[in-house]
């Protein structure tokens, strides 16, 4: 029976940090198989796995050297086939992460290009430099430095929007698009039921010109052929199977483009990831700074995307966390006194929105940011690059480290905390130390403890996931923002065929009142993060620190 992705929840796994079964310090595919019953108990419908293909691992697998082979560090093709089959037995579909904007410079295509093969050189963007010997444009790589790398053999540069070892593919070349289609069809035939497309809105380049802002993004974001290329991919591959769901990661996208990317009838993707709401603690587009999160901006962005995507019959992926983001309870919640309350509140706000919720491994436990105190503990190439860049700009090593501690992608990449043992159950006690350090709080924040506690963050997420399946209003309802200008409250109403849902959350660690709230006559509370939630009276809600309360009625 076909799943409805609007009633579904996706669980994201970063295999390298999930579970190590062969004691080498790296997570593997057998570790995912081992924990399938845990994911089934949580209630997830799909598992999104970040890349485990053959890769030099310069960007933790997002530098793919072969889309058809499994990196031995993760396992074998037999392991993948077993994982697909065992997941299906539990009613769980597998969603694979496909990185198609670029390939590793170790990939056969790029290696042949470097041999001078004109067929494969046209798979990439090789360009002559300027007369003065400088790169073709002033574009900045996402990981720092210029986005062009010089190849002396050709007296040309190749484009890499990310790491120097990640060469951008030329999607304007039809032969590239045909190869991509072959890859998707291969995994469909293996039984994969979903695809997540990495930075997919960057595949169509507009022009190669200098950018006044320096980063170049206006020349490659949501480019001129992007919708044609996505529709072509849809029509030739995943669009031929109604059971397959897709999500596109959209970097610095516009909402207008997303109406088409994820429109119900546009024939491109099922849904989109957008990241504007996760830049509210940036300074403009600058990530590597320390500024307080802007709560009003957070609400404005989420509500704009919720309401406008609904108006255009398009679908969101809704989320706080992934392998590229800090842990939400550290970012917008409270690691201390109100850790449990804030973790539950943040989960509720996302899971009751219009869109398919994504849970990132450990989020359902309330896992927090790293407790690293030295730069040597970090592994992320972006973080290490920017640690040096910040110092080059004049910051002290300690100030640069503090910024990295807050914003590093490694915050989401520390080992999954299964139990209170030496390595948190990620690997056995007699195994090799994990590839990245375990958070010291795993002795109190771990799956084993929470499975035994009915008041745990895990059990709360389990109820949130079940609630979406039980109440049609959550999956299908319209959304009405409430308390839009309230300095502490995040609230909204969902409506569908006589059903209504009210969600009210206090985003801060002190009591607050919401005096203009709607009347709750005829409603019943369906979930909340305090055992003794008070009933709103005469339209006045009194919310305790990080309290969230969800009320439902059916006419």
Residues contacting residue 272 through CB under 8 Å, at least 6 positions apart: 247, 248, 249, 250, 253, 258, 261, 262, 314, 315, 316, 317
Rounded Cα distance between 539 and 32, Å, is: 47
DSSP assignment of 250-310: -TT--HHHHHHHTBTTSSS-SEEE--GGGGTTSBTTB-SS-----HHHHHHHHHHHHHHHH
DSSP assignment of 380-394: -HHHHHHHHHHHHTT
- Concerning whether 198 is annotated as a catalytic residue, the answer is yes
Maximum Cα interatomic distance, the chain, rounded to a whole number of Å: 77
DSSP assignment of 463-494: HHHHHHHH-HHHHH-EEEEESTT-SSEEEEEE
Residue whose structure tokens are 């597998």: 94
- Concerning whether 428 is annotated as a catalytic residue, the answer is no
Residue whose C-alpha is closest to residue 187's, from 27, 315, 64, 44: 64
Q: Is 207 helix (H, G, I), strand (E, B) or coil?
A: coil
Strands (E), 507-554: 512-514, 524-528, 541-543, 548-554
CA-derived radius of gyration, the chain: 23
Q: Is 236 helix (H, G, I), strand (E, B) or coil?
A: helix
198, 232, 334, 341: which is the annotated catalytic residue? Answer: 198
Residue whose C-alpha is closest to residue 388's, from 400, 399, 374, 377: 400
Rounded Cα distance between 327 and 78, Å, is: 33
Rounded Cα distance between 167 and 93, Å, is: 31
DSSP assignment of 106-170: TSHHHHHHHTT-HHHHTTB-EE---TTS--SS-PBPTTSSBSEEEETTTTEEEE-SS-TTEEEB-
Q: Residue 140: left (phi > 0), alpha (psi -120 to 50), or beta? A: beta
Rounded Cα distance between 13 and 22, Å, is: 18
Rounded Cα distance between 393 and 211, Å, is: 21
Vertex 178: Cα angle to 177 and 179 (nearest 5): 90
How much of the chain is helix, strand and coil, in % rounded to 5? 35, 20, 50
79, 249, 335, 363: which is the annotated catalytic residue? Answer: 249
Positions marked active-site: 198, 249
């Amino acid at each position: 029976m076909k799943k409805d992705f609007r009633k579904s929840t996706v669980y994201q796994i970063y295999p390298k940090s999930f579970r190590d079964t062969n004691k080498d310090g790296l997570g593997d595919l057998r570790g995912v198989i081992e924990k399938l019953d845990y994911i089934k108990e949580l209630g997830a419908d799909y598992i999104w796995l970040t890349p485990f293909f053959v890769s030099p691992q310069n960007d933790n697998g997002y530098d793919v050297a072969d889309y058809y082979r499994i990196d031995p560090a993760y396992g074998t093709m037999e392991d993948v086939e077993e994982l697909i089959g065992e997941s299906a037995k539990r009613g769980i579909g597998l969603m694979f992460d496909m990185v198609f904007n670029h390939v590793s410079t170790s990939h056969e295509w790029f290696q042949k290009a470097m041999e001078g093969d004109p067929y494969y050189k046209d798979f990439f963007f090789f360009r002559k430099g300027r007369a003065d010997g400088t790169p073709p444009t002033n574009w900045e790589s996402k990981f720092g430095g210029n986005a062009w790398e010089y190849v002396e053999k050709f007296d040309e540069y190749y484009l890499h929007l990310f790491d120097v070892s990640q060469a951008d593919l030329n999607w304007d070349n039809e032969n590239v698009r045909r190869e991509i289609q072959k890859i998707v069809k291969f995994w469909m035939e293996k039984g994969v039921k979903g695809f997540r497309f990495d930075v997919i809105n960057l595949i169509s380049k507009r022009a190669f010109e200098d950018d006044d802002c320096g980063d170049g993004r206006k020349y490659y974001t949501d480019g001129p052929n992007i919708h044609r290329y996505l529709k072509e991919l849809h029509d030739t591959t995943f669009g031929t199977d109604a059971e397959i769901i897709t999500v596109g990661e959209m970097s610095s996208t516009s909402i207008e483009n997303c109406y088409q990317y994820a429109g119900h009838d546009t024939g491109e993707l099922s849904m989109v990831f957008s990241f504007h709401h996760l830049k509210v603690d940036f300074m403009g587009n600058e990530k590597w700074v320390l500024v307080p999160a802007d709560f009003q901006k957070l609400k404005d962005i989420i509500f704009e995307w919720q309401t406008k995507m609904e108006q255009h019959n398009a679908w969101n992926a809704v989320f706080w966390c992934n392998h590229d983001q800090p842990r939400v309870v550290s970012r917008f919640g409270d690691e201390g006194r109100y850790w449990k309350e804030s973790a539950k509140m943040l989960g509720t706000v996302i899971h009751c929105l219009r869109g398919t919720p994504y849970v990132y491994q450990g989020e359902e436990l309330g896992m927090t940011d790293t407790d690293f105190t030295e730069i040597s503990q970090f592994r992320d190439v972006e973080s290490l690059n920017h640690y040096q860049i910040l110092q080059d700009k004049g910051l002290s090593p300690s100030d640069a480290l503090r910024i990295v501690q807050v914003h590093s992608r490694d915050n989401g990449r520390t080992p999954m905390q299964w139990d209170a043992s030496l390595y948190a159950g990620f690997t056995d006690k007699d195994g090799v130390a994990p590839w990245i350090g375990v958070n010291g709080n795993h002795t109190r924040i771990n799956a084993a403890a929470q499975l035994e506690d009915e008041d745990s963050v895990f059990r709360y997420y389990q109820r949130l996931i079940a609630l979406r399946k039980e109440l049609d209003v959550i999956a299908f309802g319209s959304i009405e923002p409430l308390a839009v200008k309230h300095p502490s409250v995040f609230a909204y109403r969902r409506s569908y065929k006589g059903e209504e849902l009210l969600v009210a959350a206090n985003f801060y660690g002190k009591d607050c009142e919401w005096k203009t709230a709607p009347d709750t006559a005829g409603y019943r509370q369906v979930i909340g993060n305090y055992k003794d939630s008070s009933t709103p009276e005469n339209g006045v809600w009194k919310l305790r620190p990080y309290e969230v309360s969800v009320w439902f009625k059916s006419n």
